[in-house]
Amino acid sequence: MEPRESFAALGGDLPAAVRLTERIRTRLGADLRVRDVFDAPTPAALAAVLGRTRNAPPQDDPPPGFPGDRAPLTFAQHGVWFQDRFEGPGSDSSLSLVLRLTGPLDRDALRAAVDDVIDRHEPLRTVYFAIDGVPEQRLVEARVAVRYEQVTRDALDARLAELAAHTVHLDDEVPLHIWLLSAGPQEHLLFCRAHRIAVDEESLGILARDLGVAYSARRVDDIPDWPGRPPSYT
């Protein structure tokens, strides 16, 4: 293919664009979108796009996980994954959950409660990757960082708006991010941002419920009394 030859004119179609995008992402560590292949259809134009993209860690192999825990995406997940690849991650690709915590905060208990919930719900510790353009998911050992910030009451709404615009990248991180915002010793907000490939509006309620159960247990040095492990999503 010559530098000025068009991808589409040479017979390139959508499946080929997906495979090309994933090969470039894997080999060069470039955060390229499928849409970029059509917007910049020649090698010369695409090279210019690559110079402006976010770097992503190159992956010659799938992310490490548990034996046998690689699986194809479900139909719904595949649609979310393809939109993420075609358009690039955006604010509408993730959902937010805000929990208000009043009174003295036990940060160690909260940290343990987050670990409990991540261990309980497999989609929250699953990574999504592609091999030759074919997406798969893999369960990994992961801890979700709880990022602690002190903010004033006057700045709280602005900071929440900033976090609500945060995008989750599927290539190199699990689909859940958490911040703990403290506006005083008795006033805290737990902000969770999760990618739609792992959660929906209904499951955010389950996440809130289970975080509450786990935190209540950990505050008294107990373990959560779950009603049974949920079935594996895959």
Query: Amino acid identity of 148?
Result: Y
- pLDDT by residue (tens digit) across 38-50? 777 677 777 777 7
pLDDT exceeds cutoff 50 at 230: yes
- pLDDT by residue (tens digit) across 155-196? 999 999 999 988 888 766 889 999 999 999 999 999 999 999
Enclosing domain of residue 7: 1-60
**What are 126's strand-pairing partners?**
139
140-143, Cβ contacts within 8 angstroms, sequence gap of 24 or more: 140/63, 140/64, 140/65, 140/66, 140/174, 141/66, 142/118, 142/174, 143/115, 143/118
C-alpha dihedral sign at 136, 141, 144, 145:
negative
In a domain, 233, yes or no: no
In a domain, 228, yes or no: no
Residues 32 and 50 in one domain: yes
What mean pLDDT value characterizes the chain? 81
Residues 95 and 168 in one domain: yes
Domains identified in the chain, total number = 2
Residues 15 and 122 in one domain: no
Residues 24 and 78 in one domain: no
Residues 34 and 107 in one domain: no
CA distance 157 to 147: 17
- pLDDT by residue (tens digit) across 92-109? 788 999 999 989 999 999
Question: 111 near 148, Cβ under 8 Å?
Answer: no
Give the pLDDT mean for 136-155.
90
